[in-house]
Structure 1
Amino acid sequence: MSVRRTTTLAGVVALALGMGAIAAPPALAHGRGGGTSPEKFAQQISTRSVMRHLEAFERVAERNDGNRAALTSGYEDSARYVERTLRKAGYTTTRDPFTFDQEIVDAASLTVTGGATYEVDQMEFAPSTAEGGVTAPVSVPADPLGCAPEAWAGVDVAGTIAVVSRGTCPFATKATVAEAAGAVGVVVYNNTTGMLFGTLGAEGLVTVPVAGATQADGQAIVAAAAAGPVEVTLDTRFHTETAESFNVIAETRKGRDDNVVMLGAHLDSVEDGAGINDNGTGSAVVLEVAVQLAKQKKLNNTVRFAWWGAEELGLIGSTAYVEELATQEGELDRIATYLNFDMVGSPNYVIGVYDADESTYPAPVPVPDGSVATEEVFTGWFDSIDQPWVDSQFSGRSDYQAFIANGVPASGLFTGADGAKTEEEVALFGGTAGIPYDPNYHSPADDLSNVDRTALGIMAKAVGFATASLAQDTSAINGVSGPGDQGGHGKPWKPGKGRHGDGKGARVFEDAA
């Protein structure tokens, strides 16, 4: 799960008790079209088979420097495994290439003269330093947040590197206030654990370097400055290079071309580990569903599967794919709904469904028509088997973002990342309150031992049920039911030529405050 170049979902996807779930419509519950019923198909998605795919992904990582990150041999080998498995099941696979501007970090440090060196992250839209960085004394505002000129009253700021805390106001405000007071550099440290990955929101707001730091490192600098003068060197520089990666796409041979149900999961990991929960689990579940669906004798609708590239660098593969479809007349209209699966085996799990009906969380992004009906396929399944579930914010902070931005209905499942589990969630699912849903999120410990088999099995069967249901009938979503005229099938979507532009948006950041 992503948000940025170092990467990830830095923001917490909050979860709370699901409310107002309703059972799946009868048409979805009984498998129209003569194939295996969705309920029976769900049972064909075995945890053991999904685990075999995860074991293969872990072997890939072990052979490739411990990760499966975009632009690495580990990603290439992961894709080859998916392609081999699909071809064995009878699919034709397509590599969907895209290019993008990749930021290469040349320097990202804050060094105390004669002391420690701390890692920092250059904020988006902040100028780079000259080679060797900027060396200056540290200044700290009387109000550590530094949101207004009054915060610097009585402090000699001129020619210093200002060190301020995150909170209350946007990062750009902190930076512009400090620069106006005379600072030659700004470091904003986090107000919670982890590195602060931030953005100023626009070009040209400041002329001095601005960086994010961890809470512990920032507080250490502040404490040292309180004890006496401290001089530091802030060095933040990067350059861009054009990079190319690819998505893997496959679709069923059966089903009407004009009504496509699409499933996706990102295939890449972060560089720090094998990414077996994030997102080997989603990739493995989608893969096993594809394998089993290929055995079905009759499908009313085409089902298309995607394994996205460069998600951890900023949702790049899925965004490029949707942007190209948007240039091809009618292609996006063919997609009835998109289902996203990103982290479905967290060790301290919840059973989360994207909250399209906003029954628990207001959505910070547009919710396309049809998304609520898609959500109800999942919640109806869980209710029918007495499986507790909770809402997960419909935030757009995974590979469904580009789809919903272009009006395609979407939903998905999520077992949690770096948010803290609540007592209410423990009552529903067990586990431990007050610690992350996945304590090994984006770390080298995200290996096979990090996956909860119970959560994985629950989610895998839910994906199977939803896929089989929608493969037969999407009328609750878009009014389309029945097989239609399938005579034109055999012309699946293929990537265009001269693809995808410059991949702007290769970094997605936390909110600017």
Structure 2
Amino acid sequence: DTTLTPSLTNTSGCEAADFAGFPAGSIALMQRGTCAFGIKAANAQAAGAVGAIIFNNGTDGRTASFAGTLGAPLVTIPVVGTSFAAGVDLGTPTGTVARMFTNTESAIRQTWNVFAETATGNPDNVVMTGAHLDSVIAGAGVNDNGSGSAAILEVARQMKKAKPVNKVRFAWWGAEELGLLGSRHYVADLVANQPDEFAKIALYLNFDMVGSPNYVRFVYDGDNSAFPVGPGAAAGPEGSGAIEAAFHSYFAGQNLASAETAFSGRSDYGPFIEQGVPAGGLFTGAEGVKTAAEAAIFGGTAGVAYDVCYHQACDTLANVNMQAIDENSDAIAHLVLTYGFDTRSVNGTGTGHPVSPPGQEVPGSPSGSTSTTGGGLHDDHEHDVREAS
């Protein structure tokens, strides 16, 4: 089920039927797309593959070699990611011989989430905001996601001067890059063991990369007006559209343009919207390439990635745009404080989140939705964006 042509929607390796007639003892060659990498690898191993090569999808800027995550210790065979060109080379000739060697370790280890909340405020109406603490192995991750973590830390520090009507809870998530493990554990634990406490969460705000050097002010498309539900875009639970509108309104009030980006389910808001919690947030772009239209509106350089150091060793203190951090951190502070005093525009009653259907499919989730466009390793930063005034 691999076409060897550029595609955002191919389902290569996503179904067991793709491996009908697969010669056991061979290496499985699959194209990136639609389902999580772990699903492709598990299907390959079940078919008798001794290794798996997943090549990039060849479109939307995804052509180079890449590093992904299987989300968990799912398989014992080696799995590697490579470029679109390498995949075509391996897949086109007949009788191709490939050899794989990897030196890897897959194990369960302990990591931590860190929480802080205001001493005052209604505990039955909790405003949550979060950012992930970890980076990829390649580098320090100062933009991804030191920028979001630092921004909400400063908001938390300043909140000691306020006495909000609603309790405000800050979360710094562990192991996001490995499949949203920290936020998934938190949500699953509350839903299973303290459902009454989970019901008190009014909304969740996510801030993952807010200082990209060639940035755009992207706001999550909570009402699905720019990104209808489908591959790469999940439904925003009731109230999410109000959060999106509040961010756009804030930026407009500062004479700053903003644009929209999809709820792809590939950052820490994913587990929350899966359970029907209204969510929103900001994002300044990753390896996607800035268009000429975006450069005309937001400045910066067209034809260059929003963050040329995304998931690389060069994501250091030199890799953040301080103006982006200044503009976005002000927006973060404004929304957190606004909802700290009044959430009724989002949840109506001002107590807990609206009753939205839980368990919705979240395309792009590293846990393995069947309608993703990539799957794995923080792919939230690969989705399309559309402009908004």
Question: Residue 176 of structure 2 aligns to which amino acid in structure 1?
Answer: E
* 1:478 Cα deviation from its structure 2 partner: 1.3
Aligned-pair identity (%) = 42
SS of 1:233's equivalent in the other structure is coil
Structure 1 residues 349 and 245, CA gap change in structure 2 (3 angstroms) = same
Of 195, 211, 226, 1:345 maps to 211
Structure 1 residues 453 and 173, CA gap change in structure 2 (3 angstroms) = closer
Given that 1:146 and 1:174 are in contact with CA atoms closer than 8 Å, whether structure 2 keeps it comes out as: no
> Unpaired runs of 5+ in structure 2?
55-81, 352-364, 376-389
Residue 423 of structure 1 is matched in structure 2 by: 292
Residue 315 of structure 2 is matched in structure 1 by: 446
SS of 1:359's equivalent in the other structure is coil
2: CA distance between counterparts of 1:352 and 1:200? 31
The reply on whether 1:435 has 2:304 as its aligned counterpart is yes
Structure 1 residues 382 and 467, CA gap change in structure 2 (3 angstroms) = same
2: CA distance between counterparts of 1:360 and 1:392? 8
Residues 266-306 of structure 1 deviation map (CA, whole Å, 9 limit, x = unaligned): 0111110010000000000000000001112x211111000
1: CA distance between counterparts of 2:27 and 2:20? 7
1:109-148 paired onto structure 2 within 5 Å:
146=2
Q: Which has the higher strand share?
A: 1
Residue 318 of structure 1 is matched in structure 2 by: 183
Of 12, 20, 40, 1:200 maps to 40
- TM-score, normalised relative to structure 1: 0.58
Question: Residue 148 of structure 2 aligns to which amino acid in structure 1?
Answer: G
Structure 1 residues 237 and 505, CA gap change in structure 2 (3 angstroms) = farther
Residues 148-170 of structure 1 deviation map (CA, whole Å, 9 limit, x = unaligned): xxxxxxxxxxxxxxxx5664642
2: CA distance between counterparts of 1:146 and 1:409? 37
SS of 1:171's equivalent in the other structure is coil
* 1:190 Cα deviation from its structure 2 partner: 6.3
Of 171, 193, 211, 1:306 maps to 171
Structure 1 residues 475 and 181, CA gap change in structure 2 (3 angstroms) = closer
1: CA distance between counterparts of 2:103 and 2:47? 16
* 1:422 Cα deviation from its structure 2 partner: 1.3
Structure 1 residues 321 and 198, CA gap change in structure 2 (3 angstroms) = closer
The reply on whether 1:188 has 2:53 as its aligned counterpart is no
Given that 2:269 and 2:279 are in contact with CA atoms closer than 8 Å, whether structure 1 keeps it comes out as: yes
Give the number of aligned pairs: 323
1: CA distance between counterparts of 2:203 and 2:83? 40
1: CA distance between counterparts of 2:130 and 2:28? 40
Given that 1:370 and 1:409 are in contact with CA atoms closer than 8 Å, whether structure 2 keeps it comes out as: yes
Structure 1 residues 505 and 189, CA gap change in structure 2 (3 angstroms) = closer
Given that 1:316 and 1:506 are in contact with CA atoms closer than 8 Å, whether structure 2 keeps it comes out as: no
1: CA distance between counterparts of 2:18 and 2:302? 40
2: CA distance between counterparts of 1:175 and 1:443? 34
SS of 1:331's equivalent in the other structure is helix
2: CA distance between counterparts of 1:458 and 1:165? 40
Structure 1 residues 369 and 452, CA gap change in structure 2 (3 angstroms) = same
- TM-score, normalised relative to structure 2: 0.75
Asked which structure has the greater RCO (Cα within 8 Å, sep 6+), the reply is: 1
* 1:481 Cα deviation from its structure 2 partner: 5.0
> Unpaired runs of 5+ in structure 1?
1-144, 148-163, 483-503
1: CA distance between counterparts of 2:335 and 2:22? 57
* 1:221 Cα deviation from its structure 2 partner: 4.7
SS of 2:314's equivalent in the other structure is coil
Residue 259 of structure 2 is matched in structure 1 by: 390
1:456-475 paired onto structure 2 within 5 Å:
456-475=325-344
Residues 227-263 of structure 1 deviation map (CA, whole Å, 9 limit, x = unaligned): xx75432346866422111100000011111111111
Residue 239 of structure 2 is matched in structure 1 by: 370
The reply on whether 1:260 has 2:126 as its aligned counterpart is yes
Question: Residue 29 of structure 2 aligns to which amino acid in structure 1?
Answer: V
Cα RMSD, aligned residues only: 3.0
Bigger radius of gyration among the two: 1
Q: Which moved more, 1:471-480 or 1:246-255?
A: 471-480
